[in-house]
Copies of this chain bind each other. A is one copy, B any other.
Amino acid sequence: MSAPIAVSPLAPVSFPDLPEVAGVEFATVAAGVKYQDRDDVMLAKLAPGTAIAGVFTKSATRSAPVLDCQAKLGGTTDAGAAILVNSGNSNAFTGRNGLAAVEAITRATALACDLPESRVFSSSTGVIGEPLPFERITAHLERLAASLERNAIESAARAIMTTDTFPKGASATADINGNNVTIAGIAKGSGMIAPDMATMLVYIFTDAKISQADLQTLVSEHNDTTFNCITVDSDTSTSDSLLVAATGKSGIDVSGERAFSDSLHQVMLDLAHQVVRDGEGATKFVEIEVTGAASDADAKTHGLSIANSPLVKTAIAGEDPNWGRVVMAVGKSGAAADRDLLSIRFGDVVVAEMGWVSPTYDEAKAAHHMKGDTLFIGVDIGLGTGQATVWTCDLTNGYIDINADYRS
């Protein structure tokens, strides 16, 4: 865990200048859960009346904090709320001790912030199967609660990193009938070093006024086209969590407002792309657009089959416009396809049409496209109007080196 990690070549130039969100304050601390000499716990305090929506991993072996968050979501109270996150230990597969640790942390947070326990949401990310030394966290809660600030979101983004190579943030402003609503979010993932899991954590904050039910509907819908459309290595975490908190402090009701929905989608997609750009060993960011499928669901199945194929991902690493492997991945996906109706583009280059190489195919042009660090693969199935876009990265020796390291 101690080797210095270079920043991903696909990282943004710098952390974005995120706006403050009324009703949201942050504090971070170096609690020494696992990492030394860096902040590893973050607290976000949310004003009374905040609506909180979330989506979580569907893993059958999900962690204790995930189960606790799921149980608390949707509760109706005007009390404030808090989100408490630690890095370095995921408190996953820790048996009954896992739940006890979550209870200790949420109780201490509730006490320090003067909130009901039912309004404290916690996440943990890092090593799996080791007991979470929760007392290192609870010991700092009074101090955390006393040091909350509105402009500390970048520190929060850094405190939740595990083996990420850069902190991830995004924001947007929605114009609602001439009034501005602000959205700002942070994410971690998915740089990993053995034995960390591919955990992804996302926290998004807005001053918009919206009911919990309406917010949950929006979040679930947008999740399907953002975080559920990215993949680094097809391995699903036991801890994936996305929480969206709407404080209502702008006083602007955004229910049914398209501008808010679009802005929220934009922030979610931006953070999702940043997670792919920090994919382990990644050197290429790849957008895969599938059109002409029998349904949108079929299009997504084809897209993820291509995005998860080790043979497609290694070809991309080798800058090889290997469309034969794309054909293979479509064929194995299980969704409807007809070999002789397929067409495939790499960038603007039409590679294959009607089940065979296009007569206009220019391998040199396709190869030139593959040399970039942002690639596009378009696949038309030729059967219907279903479509989906997914994002992934290449599979390199860097991925193997990171994940074949013995835990130490």
Interface flags, A234-264, vs B, CB<8A=1, else 0: 1111100000000000000000000000000
Contacts of A335 in B (CB 8 A): 60
Interface flags, A300-330, vs B, CB<8A=1, else 0: 0000000011110011011110111101111
Nearest residue in B to A59 (C-beta to C-beta)? Answer: B331
Within 8 Å by CB of A400, from B59, B194, B234, B395, lies: B395
Contacts of A319 in B (CB 8 A): 406
- For the complex, is A100 an interface residue (Cβ under 8 Å from B)? no
Asked if A400 and B317 sit within 8 Å, CB to CB, the answer is yes
Asked if B324 and A128 sit within 8 Å, CB to CB, the answer is yes
Contacts of A407 in B (CB 8 A): 320, 322
Asked if B318 and A403 sit within 8 Å, CB to CB, the answer is yes
How many Å from the CB of A144 to the closest CB on chain B?
A: 29
| A60-85 at interface with B (beta carbon < 8 Å) | 60-62
Chain A interfacial residues counted at CB < 8 A: 70
**Interface residue SS majority, chain A:** loop
- For the complex, is A339 an interface residue (Cβ under 8 Å from B)? yes
Asked if B310 and A403 sit within 8 Å, CB to CB, the answer is yes
| A318-360 at interface with B (beta carbon < 8 Å) | 318-320, 322-325, 327-333, 335-340, 342, 352, 354-357
How many Å from the CB of A125 to the closest CB on chain B?
A: 13
- For the complex, is A404 an interface residue (Cβ under 8 Å from B)? yes
- 22 pairs across A/B with beta carbons < 8 Å? A59-B328, A59-B332, A60-B330, A61-B330, A93-B355, A128-B324, A128-B327, A192-B311, A194-B322, A195-B315, A195-B320, A195-B322, A197-B325, A198-B328, A235-B310, A235-B311, A237-B328, A310-B310, A310-B399, A311-B403, A317-B404, A397-B401
